[in-house]
Amino acid sequence: MTEECRQCSLIGRSFLKEHLVSFYLTFTRQLAPCHFPERLTSLLLCTDEEINLSAIGFVLALEKLPEINIASQEVFRQQLWDMVANHQWDLVVAKALTLLHRCYTEYPDCPDGGAELTGYVTSLRATVQNPRTEPIQTASLPLLGVLIAKLPAEKREESLQTLIAELRAFAHEEPFTTRIAALTCLAPLAPLLKLSGGPEESLIPSFFLLFDFLNDDDDEIRLAASRIAQTVLPGERILLLPQVAARDLALALRAAFPASTLLLREAVKRFTGIEGAVSAAAARAAWERATERDTSLFRREKQNLWVDTRDVVRVWGAVVQLLVARGAGNVEDLKEWFEEATECWKSMEGKDGPGDWRSEEEVAVFLERIEVAGRIFG
């Protein structure tokens, strides 16, 4: 066997190591399960990086993590954390982070591990902000969500708010892997966001994050977000279609925070579609963009074709209308936007056929906003 190893190619040696590790650990699990933790430890401590990778890959491929005692679980976790901090292979680090996520999900919490979690959360946040590679970042995000959910309540609030702010940026990233990792990070936090439990107003940004995931242009992300919404929405809930869950979430926020200035401010932005200050100038600029004729031969699609934008406008308009009625805040800026938007539309009457303009998607959405705003101030 030694002579064959010397003569085979690098790829052949890699495959041989992988199969030997798999055989070794499978044999131990079946015939000597009590020795499995120490055999696995020996492979993780091995100086051969390929053996490290194969050992982690073997455990990750198991449907359920091996049943080992509490002491062995802690040793296993610590070895994985050491690999995350010190291993030279980025792939091994990413796999170790993924396995840690399963460990903290499937194994019971260590009674004395609360103090260590804070340090791990700080370390992971630094990794997420400045990752060595994208796979390390996407493996860190789900683990970060699990660890923050396990923090004591008095230590959780600041970490949770910081995390939500970071996830809102990741939710709009182009790579699918980044967005699905951000959503997986949000999933273990869902029980903390139950609207029936009277969540803090400071958590409102997390609900907008979930709303964005429910309206993602990828069906896998939308479906996973629906499962989170099933936990967050009040009452006994069945799994809803993402579009229905998004609507119910917006309306549930209206009921949970009926006098929230923070909710009103964000709802106005989503209703008008304006990221910056809502003003008459912003209305004029939005109208010019909506009515601009795109003459390029191959133009890039400007909207998520899965989402009914006009329906979204109506939903957030209903939220704004109730909050205004409850006196949640001053909306003079929205009134200025509405008046200028109305003037913009009137200026098009009799020019180039208003009916033709209305058939344009962006113009139709703009007019929907004017109509709903008319009900708010009517």
Q: Domain map of the chain by residue range?
A: 258-378
Write down the pTM of the prediction: 0.87
Mean pLDDT by 10 residues, the chain (378 residues): 61 82 91 90 92 94 90 91 94 96 88 72 91 94 94 86 89 85 94 85 93 92 95 86 93 91 93 89 89 56 63 93 87 92 82 58 88 88
Of the candidates 313, 307, 372, 321, the one whose C-alpha atom is nearest the C-alpha of residue 342 is: 372
Cα–Cα distance for residue pair 69/48, rounded to 1 Å: 27
pLDDT of residue 109: 77
Residue type for position 194: K
pLDDT of residue 85: 93
pLDDT of residue 113: 56
